[in-house]
Each structure stands twice: as structure tokens, then as C-alpha cells.
């Protein structure tokens, strides 16, 4: 979030877009992106992400993509404990 603030002060727009999937999924274009950005920036980046992955989930403002990725990792780690 600090990076977003610093970049905004320089008139640069920031998007966070972590992804999930294995190397095999990446090779097959099956990556899932979790995008944190303004809605307009999310739409701007969408064609690029669509060329690399199968699904784009808009999660809200900058930082929410990273939060969603952390939640997903925690759920997956919990499932591995079962």
C-alpha cells in the first residue's frame, strides 16, 4: 500500500495482481489472477491478463489482490493439514 501511495504522488497508477496456479497451469494458460485496483485500471489491464490466464477476479482496491492471495494460501495450507 505504501508503494501505491508513493507512485500516486508521482502520477503513476498501480495494480496488484498476484496469481495462483502451478507451472503446468501457467504453461497451459490456466493461471487465475486476483486483481486489486480501481475498476477502470482493472479493465485496462484485463486484456493482458486474459492472454496469460483463464480467470480474472476483481477483488477491489489496491492491496485486496494480495490479501486474497494470502487467504487462499492459508486455506490451502489448512487443507494440507487434514
User: Catalytic residue positions?
Assistant: 69
Residue-level length of the chain: 82
| Closest C-alpha to 58, from 42, 73, 44, 72 | 42
The set of long-range contacts for 70-76, using a CB threshold of 8 Å and a minimum separation of 24, is 72/20, 72/34
Amino acid at each position: 500500500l505504501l508503494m501505491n501511495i508513493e507512485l500516486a504522488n508521482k502520477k503513476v497508477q498501480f495494480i496488484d495482481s498476484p496469481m495462483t496456479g502451478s507451472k503446468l497451469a501457467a504453461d497451459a494458460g490456466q493461471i487465475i489472477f486476483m486483481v486489486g485496483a480501481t475498476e477502470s485500471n482493472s479493465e485496462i489491464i484485463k486484456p493482458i491478463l486474459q492472454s496469460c490466464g483463464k480467470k480474472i477476479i476483481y477483488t477491489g482496491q489496491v492491496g485486496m489482490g494480495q490479501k486474497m492471495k494470502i487467504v487462499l494460501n492459508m486455506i490451502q495450507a489448512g487443507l494440507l493439514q487434514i
